[in-house]
C-alpha cells in the first residue's frame, strides 16, 4: 500500500497546479501526504484490527483534520451521521488499495471494496470505482498481465481503456468523479514501464494528480513487486509515526513491501 501513499505524496503539489509532462522533480518542495494517504491507512487499520470503516474514517479525520478532504466527506466526518451521502467521487477509489493486498481471492476483494466504499460513497459510480481499483491491485499481485487486467476492467466495470494516455492528456482536466478519473489512472499504470513511471504518467494527465497517482501507484506496487528504495525511504521520511506504524504492520502481515 506504500505505493499508493507514494503517488499521493508525489502528486500533492500538482493537484491545483497541473502539469502535462512526465518531466518533473519526483519529490518537490511542499510534497506532503494528503487525505488519500490518511484514508488509505485508515482502511489498512480497519483490516488489521477488524474495526468498522465508519469509525476509523471519522477517527482519522479527527487525527488529521487538515489533510485536504473533500467538502462532503469533511462535513460527514464532523457530523453525528453514520449514513452514506451518495457520493460518486474518487475518494472511494483513492483509499481502497490495501484491500487488494489483504484479501485472498477476487470475490472477497470485490465484496470488501464495496463495503469500504458504501459507508460514504453509496452512489453506483463510487462503488464501481473502488471495486475496479481493488481488483486491479489484486490481479496485479497475482501476476496477471496488463492485457488481462485491462480486459477484466473493461468487461466487468465497463470502463473504456482503449484511449492512449497521450490522447487523453490533450484535453483532460481536473475531475474528481470516479467515472472521470479512475479509468485514466488505470491507463497510466497500464502504459507505465516501471513503478516511478506509473506515478509520472498519472501526474502528467494534469488532473486530480494526488488521487490519480495514488491509484496508479497502488496498482504499480502490486504489479512491479515493490517500490524503488529511494522512493520508499523518502515516503517513510514524510509520514508521521502513527501512519508509519500502521503501514509497517500492514505491509509485514500481507507481504506488500
Q: What is the pLDDT of residues 205-249, one digit of tens each?
A: 999 999 999 999 999 999 999 999 999 999 999 999 999 999 999
Q: Is the pLDDT of residue 116 over 80?
A: yes
- Cβ-Cβ contacts under 8 Å for 85 (sequence gap 6 or more): 72, 76, 120, 122
List the CATH number of the domain containing 69: 1.10.4080.10
Domain that holds residue 121: 2-254
The Cα–Cα gap between 169 and 83 comes to 37
Torsion, Cα of 169, 175, 181, 187 (10° steps) = 10
- Cβ-Cβ contacts under 8 Å for 178 (sequence gap 6 or more): 88, 89, 90, 92, 93, 121, 125, 126, 128, 129, 130
Total domains present in the chain = 1
Torsion, Cα of 210, 96, 251, 199 (10° steps) = -30
Q: What Å distances lie between residue 23 and 73, 200, 204, CA to CA? A: 33, 8, 8
User: Which cell is 215 given?
Assistant: 491509484
- CB 70 within 8 Å of CB 176: yes
Q: Using DSSP, state whether 177 is helix, strand or coil.
A: strand
Count how many residues are written for the chain. Answer: 257
> What does DSSP assign to residue 12?
G
Q: What Å distances lie between residue 38 and 57, 205, 246, CA to CA? A: 9, 23, 11
- CB 159 within 8 Å of CB 195: no
Q: What is the pLDDT of residues 51-70, one digit of tens each?
A: 999 999 999 999 999 999 99
* pLDDT at residue 255, rounded to an integer: 84
- For the segment 84-90, the average pLDDT, to the nearest whole number, is 97
pTM for this predicted structure: 0.97
Q: What is the pLDDT of residues 127-171, one digit of tens each?
A: 999 999 999 999 999 999 999 999 999 999 999 999 999 999 999
Amino acid at each position: 500500500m506504500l505505493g499508493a501513499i507514494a503517488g499521493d505524496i508525489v502528486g500533492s503539489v500538482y493537484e491545483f497546479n497541473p502539469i502535462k509532462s512526465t518531466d518533473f522533480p519526483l519529490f518537490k518542495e511542499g510534497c506532503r501526504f494528503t487525505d488519500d494517504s490518511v484514508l488509505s491507512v485508515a482502511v489498512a487499520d480497519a483490516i488489521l484490527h477488524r474495526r468498522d470503516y465508519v469509525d476509523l474514517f471519522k477517527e482519522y479525520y479527527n487525527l488529521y483534520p487538515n489533510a485536504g478532504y473533500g467538502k462532503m466527506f469533511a462535513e460527514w466526518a464532523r457530523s453525528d451521521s453514520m449514513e452514506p451521502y451518495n457520493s460518486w467521487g474518487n475518494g472511494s477509489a483513492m483509499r481502497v488499495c490495501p484491500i487488494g493486498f489483504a484479501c485472498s481471492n477476487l470475490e472477497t476483494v470485490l465484496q470488501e471494496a464495496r463495503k469500504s466504499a458504501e459507508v460514504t460513497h453509496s452512489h453506483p459510480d463510487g462503488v464501481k470505482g473502488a471495486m475496479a481499483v481493488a481488483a486491479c491491485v489484486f490481479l496485479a499481485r497475482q501476476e496477471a498481465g496488463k492485457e488481462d487486467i485491462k480486459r477484466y476492467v473493461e468487461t466487468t466495470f465497463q470502463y473504456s481503456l482503449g484511449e492512449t494516455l497521450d490522447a487523453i492528456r490533450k484535453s483532460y482536466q481536473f475531475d474528481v468523479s470516479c467515472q472521470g478519473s479512475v479509468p485514466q489512472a488505470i491507463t497510466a499504470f497500464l502504459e507505465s514501464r516501471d513503478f516511478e513511471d506509473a506515478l509520472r504518467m498519472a501526474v502528467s494527465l494534469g488532473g486530480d494528480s494526488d488521487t490519480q497517482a495514488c491509484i496508479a501507484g497502488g496498482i504499480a506496487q502490486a504489479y512491479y513487486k515493490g517500490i524503488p528504495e529511494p522512493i520508499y525511504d523518502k515516503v517513510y521520511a514524510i509520514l508521521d509515526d502513527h501512519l508509519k506504524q500502521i503501514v509497517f504492520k500492514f505491509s509485514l502481515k500481507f507481504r506488500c513491501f
